[in-house]
C-alpha cells in the first residue's frame, strides 16, 4: 500500500537530547563492562570539556549481571574524567578522576539519583560545533524516519541562535517549532521573553511557539495525577507540581504575550484541572492556545469541556505500547479512559501524534503499529486517518511530503527538495 503523507510531523520531541544521543557515545550495545576498552570515539561528540561522557549501559545485558566498578575505568582511562550514564538515567559509572573533580567519595564509582543529577550539571557544556554536529545527527535521524516537521519541547536561547545560523547556511532539513520549558513561576517572564525574542528571527523553517511546564508525573512511577487511587485502592492519587493559582498566572501572562501554553498532563485529574482552569481564565477574557502533552487518561466530561477552548492534545501511541503490560493494574476503574484518541477524534478536539524521542525512538511505524494493536487491549479503535493526524496541520508550512510503501520510507521531500 502506498501512503503519501504531507508534512510528516513528530509533535512532541526533545531535539537536542535526541542529537546528543545520536552523535554521542552510545553504550546500549556494550556487551560487558570490560568492553569499554574497545569503544571507538572517532566522529562522535563524546567529550564535554575534557570529560568523556556516554550513556546507555545496562548490567542486565551482560553475562556477569554485575554492576561495574571505577577500578576498571581507572585502568582504561587513567588520564581524564569519565562519566557514563546507565540506560535508565538514574545512575552513573565514573572513574577516580571524575570523583576528584566533583569532590565526591565513592568506593564503587557508582553515583545514583541526587548525586548523579547534581554531578551531571557540573560537567562542562558541549561546544557550539559539537551542538551543531548533534543537530545534524538529529536531523538525519528524523529524516530517515520520514519526518520533515518536529515540535521541540526543550529550546534554549543558544539552540535557537544556532538553528537560525544553520538555516541560513542551508543545513537544516527539518521545519522546527520551539517551546521553552520552565519549572518555577520566577522563571516564567524569562522564558516568555526568550520566545518573544526568538519570534523576531522566525523564518521559513523556524517557529517559536511558547512555554512548557510539568503539571504532574508519570503513570510508570505512579506520580501522574488521577481521580481514583492507583490500583483501585489506597491513598496514592499521584501528585501535582504546581498550585492552581500559579498556573492561572502562567495561562494569563503567556496568553497576554500571544504565546502558547503547553502542559505535561498525564493523569485524568491533571488534565481536568488544566481544562477547568482554561475555561475559568477564558471566561475572564484571556484567550490562547492550550496544548495538553501526552493526555494519556481523559474522562468524557473533560473532553466535552475542551470543546469551546483552543486545545490540542499531543499523544504518543508508542508510549501505550511500552506501558500496556501494567496499565490495567495501575489504572483499575480508570482504564476505560486510557489513551482516548478515538473519543477525542469523535469530539473533534485536535490531536497530533508524536514519539517523545529520545525516550522512545522517533518512528511513524511504531505509532501506526500501536494504533492498530490497541483494540486488542480494549482501547477503542482509532478510525481517523493517521496520515492526517501525523501530519503538521498548517498546509502553508513548507511544501514537504513523505512517501511510504510496504512499511518503508521510500521518499522524503522537504521544502521542495528530495532529501531521501
10 binds Zn ion per the rule CB under 5 A: no
Q: Which is nearer to Zn ion, 222 or 356 (CB)?
A: 356
Q: Which is nearer to Zn ion, 295 or 404 (CB)?
A: 295
CB of 15 to Zn ion, least distance (A): 11
Q: Which is nearer to Zn ion, 109 or 238 (CB)?
A: 238
CB of 219 to Zn ion, least distance (A): 14
Total residues contacting Zn ion by CB under 5 A comes to: 1
Q: Which residue is nearest to Zn ion (CB)?
A: 356
Distance from chain centroid for Cα 399: 26
Gap between the Cα atoms of 241 and 155, Å rounded: 21
Contact 217, 242 (CB under 8 A): no
178 binds Zn ion per the rule CB under 5 A: no
CB of 48 to Zn ion, least distance (A): 23
Stretch that binds Zn ion, among 129-137, 185-193, 218-226, 350-358 (CB under 5 A): 350-358
Contact 55, 21 (CB under 8 A): yes
CB of 356 to Zn ion, least distance (A): 5
Gap between the Cα atoms of 341 and 314, Å rounded: 10
Q: Which of the residues 51 through 70 are near Zn ion (CB under 5 A)?
A: none
Stretch that binds Zn ion, among 46-54, 190-198, 269-277, 349-357 (CB under 5 A): 349-357
Distance from chain centroid for Cα 70: 31
Gap between the Cα atoms of 162 and 136, Å rounded: 11
Gap between the Cα atoms of 281 and 229, Å rounded: 29
Residue 352, class by beta-carbon neighbours within 10 Å (0-12 exposed, 13-18 middle, 19+ buried)? buried
Which whole-number Å values give the CA distances from 131 to 19, 60, 141, 286, 393, in the listed order?
8, 31, 15, 38, 29
356 binds Zn ion per the rule CB under 5 A: yes
Stretch that binds Zn ion, among 116-124, 330-338, 354-362, 371-379 (CB under 5 A): 354-362
Sign of CA dihedral 288, 294, 297, 300: positive
Gap between the Cα atoms of 295 and 268, Å rounded: 8
Stretch that binds Zn ion, among 266-274, 320-328, 336-344, 352-360 (CB under 5 A): 352-360
Stretch that binds Zn ion, among 141-149, 174-182, 188-196, 348-356 (CB under 5 A): 348-356
CB of 154 to Zn ion, least distance (A): 8
152 binds Zn ion per the rule CB under 5 A: no
What the block records as the C-alpha cell of 9 is 510531523
CB of 204 to Zn ion, least distance (A): 26
Q: Which is nearer to Zn ion, 302 or 316 (CB)?
A: 316
Q: In the complex, which residues of this chain contact Zn ion (CB under 5 A)?
A: 356
Amino acid at each position: 500500500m502506498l501512503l503519501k503523507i504531507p508534512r510528516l510531523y513528530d509533535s512532541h520531541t526533545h531535539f537536542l537530547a535526541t542529537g546528543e544521543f545520536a552523535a554521542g557515545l552510545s553504550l546500549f550495545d556494550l556487551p560487558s563492562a570490560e568492553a569499554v576498552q574497545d569503544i571507538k570515539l572517532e566522529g562522535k561528540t563524546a567529550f564535554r570539556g575534557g570529560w568523556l561522557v556516554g550513556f546507555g549501559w545496562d548490567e542486565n545485558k551482560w553475562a556477569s549481571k554485575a554492576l561495574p566498578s571505577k577500578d576498571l575505568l581507572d585502568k582504561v582511562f587513567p588520564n581524564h574524567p569519565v562519566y557514563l550514564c546507565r540506560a535508565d538515567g538514574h545512575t552513573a559509572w565514573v572513574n577516580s578522576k571524575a570523583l576528584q573533580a566533583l569532590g565526591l567519595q565513592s568506593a564503587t564509582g557508582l553515583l545514583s539519583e541526587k548525586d548523579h543529577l547534581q554531578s551531571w550539571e557540573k560537567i562542562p557544556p558541549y561546544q557550539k560545533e559539537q551542538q551543531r554536529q548533534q543537530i545534524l545527527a538529529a536531523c538525519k535521524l528524523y529524516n530517515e524516519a520520514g519526518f520533515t516537521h518536529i515540535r521541540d519541547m526543550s529550546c534554549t536561547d543558544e539552540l535557537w541562535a544556532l538553528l537560525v545560523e544553520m538555516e541560513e547556511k542551508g543545513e537544516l532539513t527539518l521545519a522546527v517549532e520551539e517551546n521553552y520549558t520552565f519549572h518555577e513561576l520566577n522563571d516564567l517572564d524569562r522564558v516568555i521573553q526568550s520566545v518573544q525574542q526568538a519570534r523576531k528571527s522566525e523564518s521559513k523553517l523556524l517557529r517559536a511557539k511558547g512555554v512548557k511546564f510539568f503539571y504532574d508525573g508519570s503513570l510508570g512511577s505512579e506520580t501522574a495525577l488521577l481521580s481514583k487511587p492507583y490500583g483501585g485502592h489506597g491513598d496514592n492519587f499521584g501528585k501535582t507540581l504546581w498550585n492552581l493559582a500559579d498556573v492561572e498566572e502562567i495561562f494569563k501572562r503567556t496568553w497576554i504575550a500571544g504565546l502558547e501554553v503547553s502542559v505535561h498532563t498525564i493523569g485524568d485529574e491533571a488534565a481536568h484541572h488544566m481544562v477547568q482552569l482554561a475555561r475559568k481564565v477564558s471566561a475572564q477574557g484571556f484567550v490562547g492556545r492550550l496544548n495538553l502533552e501526552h493526555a494519556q487518561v481523559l474522562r468524557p466530561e473533560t473532553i466535552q469541556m475542551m470543546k469551546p477552548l483552543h486545545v490540542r492534545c499531543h499523544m504518543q501511541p508508542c508510549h501505550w505500547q511500552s506501558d500496556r503490560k501494567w496499565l490495567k493494574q495501575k489504572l483499575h476503574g480508570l482504564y476505560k479512559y486510557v489513551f482516548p484518541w478515538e473519543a477525542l477524534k469523535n469530539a473533534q478536539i485536535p490531536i497530533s501524534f508524536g514519539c517523545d524521542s529520545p525516550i522512545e525512538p522517533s518512528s511513524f511505524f511504531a505509532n501506526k503499529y500501536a494504533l492498530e494493536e490497541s483494540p486488542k487491549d480494549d482501547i477503542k479503535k482509532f478510525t481517523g486517518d493517521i496520515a492526517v493526524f501525523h501530519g503538521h496541520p498548517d498546509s502553508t508550512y513548507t511544501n514537504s511530503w513523505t512517501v511510504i510503501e510496504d512499511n518503508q520510507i521510500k521518499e522524503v521531500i522537504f521544502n521542495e527538495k528530495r532529501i531521501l
